Amino acid sequence: MAARINWSRNQLLIAFNLYCQMPFGKMDSRNPEVIKYAGIIGRTPSALAMKLSNIASLDPEITSTGRSGLKGASSSDKVMWKEMQTDCNTATLK
């Protein structure tokens, strides 16, 4: 089994940006956008698709509809989610 490599902050930022632009049902390793961005960040399309689904598990707009995403969100994912929500709320107030 290959060693797990933690996601860098830059990789997470790109994944979160893609998550914000992509409909939930399109977060698939065969999606051309997932393939493109996976190459940019040095991850496999499957790893990026899984990360997008982990992010979805933190999104109340997804979970409130009965969908769940994956349950493997890391502590870094949770910190990034909270940071992104704070940034969005702050930007909205300005």
pLDDT at 81 over 50: yes
Question: How confident is the model over 8-56, as pLDDT tens digits?
Answer: 999 999 999 999 899 888 999 999 999 999 999 999 999 999 999 999 8
**What ranges do the domains of the chain cover?**
9-93
Kindly report which listed range (27-36, 48-57, 62-71, 85-94) carries the lowest average pLDDT score.
Answer: 85-94
> Residue 51 in contact with residue 7, Cβ under 8 Å?
yes
Give the pLDDT confidence score for residue 94 in this predicted structure. 40
If you average pLDDT over residues 68-84, what whole number do you get? 84
> Residue 42: left if φ>0, alpha if ψ -120 to 50, beta else—which one?
left
CA–CA dist 43, 52 (Å, integer): 13
